[in-house]
Amino acid sequence: MATRIHPSSFVSESATIGDGSQVWLFCQIRDDARIGKGCIFGKGVYVDGGVTIGDNVKIQNNVSVFTGVDIEDGVFVGPHVCFTNDKVPRAVNPDGSIKSAHDWVVSKTLVKTGSAIGANSTVVCGVTVGAWSMVAAGSVVTKDVPDHALVRGNPARTVGWVCRCGLKVDLSAGEARCTCGRSLVQDADGVVRDAG
């Protein structure tokens, strides 16, 4: 499939977009952003300069992905999700002068493979959203989300575990088999991994 970019969208000449990706209405992709293959960006998506987005990522309408955010393969980002990139945002310095790019301290955020972030969630910078995890709609993520965790609330807290297919599984016995046929195990340190 050919790459499609709607004529109302702006893509910097220094940005790269992989084969088969689709960029819909009123998107902006800034300098040196790298977009993988097979991605779909809904209306009004903003991708800041230097952002890296993997293959087969789906970003819904009106999402802002700012500098410092890296998104791995197969991630879903729901509508109106906001990623921040400054832990102490200010328009001016203590002396009242306007902050310049040199005054800005960008904190990194990593969204790992297969994770899903629900509509209207905010991801505060400096965290990792774990592989195959799920962030419930409207959540505020302020700390790392473990792999396969289901988190919700403000601040987001782990309330369960999910399979790669997205269904919730009961790990109270330390292991579980999902109705899709995959298995998850939880080790003594609480780390959850896919057992196939």
| Catalytic center residues | 80
Instruction: Extract long-range pairs of 177-186: CB within 8 Å, 24+ residues apart.
Output: 184/148, 186/161
**Strand 28-29 versus strand 16-17 pairing type:** unpaired
**Strand 40-41 versus strand 134-135 pairing type:** unpaired
Q: CA-based Rg of the chain, rounded to a whole angstrom?
A: 18
Are the C-beta atoms of 12 and 30 separated by less than 8 Å? yes
Q: Which amino acid is at 59?
A: I
Q: Cα(125)–Cα(77) distance, rounded to whole angstroms?
A: 16
